[in-house]
Amino acid sequence: MDTTHEVFNQPAPLSGYNLFETNRPLRDALKFNAPQLQLAPLEHLGAQIGTAEMQTHARLANTHTPVLHTHDRFGRRIDEVEFHPSYHALMTTAVGAGLHGTPWTGDSPSCHVRRAAGFMLFTELEPSILCPISMSYAVTPALRGNAAIHADWGPKLASLWYDPVLKPWHEKPGVTMGMGMTEKQGGSDVRANTTRAVRAGSDIWGERYEITGHKWFFSAPMCDAFLVLAQAPAGLSCFFLPRVLSDGSRNTIHIQRLKDKLGNKANASSEVEFHGASAWLVGEEGRGISQILEMGTMTRLDCALGTSGLMRQALSLALNHTTQRQAFGKRLIEQPLMKNVLADLALESEAATALAIRLARAFDHPDEEHERLMARLLTPVAKFWICKRGSLFAQEAMECLGGNGYVEEGGEGVMARVYREMPLNSIWEGAGNIMALDLLRGLRKGDAIAALARELAPARGSDAAFDRLAKALPARIEAMATETEARRLAQDVALAVQGALLAQTAPAAVVGAFCASRLGGDWGHAFGTLGAGVDFDAIIARAQPH
């Protein structure tokens, strides 16, 4: 064979490894935030989703995307979405790992942290199927606003069984739920919703209504039920809307089309119309906004977790490639400039992981005042900053692979899928401006500023740049009179908390480089611009997935 036809110097795919055991930053974050947590389930999940078989399922679920069937061959309306079998294999694994509603029924003091770590790990494999998983997690506590529905559906939302068949809830071992909030004319401004709800009687689930209107984004339309917003006589209200009614008939949810999205291909996002669909009131009439805020907090946590997981996967792919690929007489990972890029990415990934897991810890302790305030403040902060950094991160990691990272095929084709997915979490559940304004509202209530100071206090004295930022933040917050600099404030609060967490969980090389670059200004305007005094080798070794 001609030597020109011989294939060499092409890296082997990143496969057959345990995503949890090799993720030292995540393990250290768990040790700090949940020291008594049993790690065996996460070790099992990490091994399971690192296999070539599961990676094949992820590829197939995105290659063979969902298909909408509005009618059967006889002309009857069915409104069904057909998925590739790999989609169902992934859903079975995610539900079996308890990544949906299980924390709300768990007796462990760290249920939310454990679930958060599993959610991050699964995101490395395939993020888009986690949309119905995340929504099932978010809506479960909201159902307490209707005790009868919660009694019937709560246990099934926490079940470890996934059943994709459309049939009544009482015939299924487990169920999933979605949400329908935004409309064409309003988007994030849900107060502009026009969908209306008319009372139609009452039964064992309470007040029943007929819903007529539309939803512009209605993700995962094959879920078993949805929480939706509609205008009732007393104002915008929250309703429980099942896909199949208890008598086996289909509710009048008409799927108009599936969204053709940049990424998130395995997940079916749709536009729907309701034609007198049966729904039941959750909470009080006119209190729909408060219901949304409760659910939005949970889904925003998942946005931060998901982007952190995607960062970790992009970094692992870059490290895998550069460790094996030769160029200019040595491995790429041995080249000084590449070391700078990889170390910089590793810092960003570890800081994201630390902040996301810290936020999850707050949800495990809702009765503690400090943790309640941290959940209120860190939710918009983490959602804003981690998700905002994701797309830049993915682009730089893709560049480490060169042209191989830009193609869709093979093991390195995963990078293109990660890149397409990255913008979603920043947009979904409130874009950057919404998060920055939400932070301002949170800081202006009660003892929020004092709580932030307490959060930063354990790291005071660890680094001069950190100390300067921590000292300046309270005065900046008090002096802020307009919204104009809200984004900068969200950025700086995120960096301060990340610095404080790393000072308590990470090695000195990581802490020093993070504070010098992100807080001290020894950094450029792109990844790979760390100062020459950084211990690149130590940071890269800590991040390796091998």
The answer to whether residues 481 and 444 touch, using CB atoms and an 8 Å cutoff, is no
Mean local confidence (pLDDT), 199-218: 96
The mean of the pLDDT values for the chain is 95
- The SS3 call for residue 159 is coil
Upper half-sphere CA count for residue 123 (Cβ side, 13 Å): 28
Please tell me the predicted confidence (pLDDT) of residue 292: 78
Distance CA 100, CA 298 (A): 11
Please tell me the predicted confidence (pLDDT) of residue 2: 65
Please tell me the predicted confidence (pLDDT) of residue 143: 94
Task: With a cut of 60, say whether residue 375 has pLDDT above it.
Answer: yes
DSSP codes of every residue in 315-361: HHHHHHHHHH-EETTEEGGGSHHHHHHHHHHHHHHHHHHHHHHHHHH
CATH 1.20.140.10 domain span(s) along the chain: 290-543
Radius of gyration of the CA atoms of the chain, in A: 24
Burial 10-43 (b: 16+ CB within 10 A, else e): ebeebeebbbbebbbbbbbbbebbbeebebeebe
Task: With a cut of 80, say whether residue 412 has pLDDT above it.
Answer: no
The answer to whether residues 363 and 357 touch, using CB atoms and an 8 Å cutoff, is no
Q: Whose CA is closest to 494, among 469, 513, 460?
A: 469
Task: With a cut of 60, say whether residue 59 has pLDDT above it.
Answer: yes
Mean local confidence (pLDDT), 363-381: 96
CATH 2.40.110.20 domain span(s) along the chain: 175-286
- DSSP character at residue 2: -
User: pLDDT > 90: what percent of the chain?
Assistant: 89
User: In terms of residues, how long is the chain?
Assistant: 546
Distance CA 314, CA 416 (A): 10
Q: Whose CA is closest to 127, among 158, 150, 94?
A: 94
Distance CA 371, CA 349 (A): 24
Amino acid at 539: I
Mean local confidence (pLDDT), 268-291: 94
Ranking 150-164, 180-194, 273-287, 336-350 by mean pLDDT, the lowest is 180-194
Task: With a cut of 90, say whether residue 363 has pLDDT above it.
Answer: yes
201, with CB counted inside 10 A (0-12, 13-18, 19+), is exposed
Task: With a cut of 60, say whether residue 1 has pLDDT above it.
Answer: no
Place of tokens 């496969």: 15
Amino acid at 503: A
Distance CA 282, CA 247 (A): 21
> 290-543: what CATH class?
mainly alpha
Please tell me the predicted confidence (pLDDT) of residue 188: 73
Ranking 255-264, 288-297, 417-426, 472-481 by mean pLDDT, the lowest is 288-297
DSSP codes of every residue in 204-265: TTEEEEEEEEEEEEEE-TTSSEEEEEEEETTEEEEEEEESB-TTSPBPSEEEEEE---SS-T
- Rounded to 10 degrees, the C-alpha dihedral 409/414/415/418 comes to 130
- The SS3 call for residue 441 is helix
Cα 518 from chain centroid? 24
* CATH (residue range 175-286): 2.40.110.20
Please tell me the predicted confidence (pLDDT) of residue 295: 84
DSSP codes of every residue in 61-109: HHHS--EEEEE-TTS-EEEEEE--HHHHHHHHHHHHTT-SSGGGT--ST
Please tell me the predicted confidence (pLDDT) of residue 192: 85
Distances in Å between the alpha carbon of 430 and those of 99, 149, 279?
Answer: 22, 28, 26
- The SS3 call for residue 198 is strand
Q: Whose CA is closest to 542, among 394, 343, 354, 397?
A: 343
Please tell me the predicted confidence (pLDDT) of residue 430: 87
Q: Please write the tens of the pLDDT for every residue from 91-116.
A: 999 999 999 999 998 778 899 999 99
DSSP codes of every residue in 169-187: GGG-S---EEEE---TTTT
Six-digit token pair at 386?
Answer: 């981690």
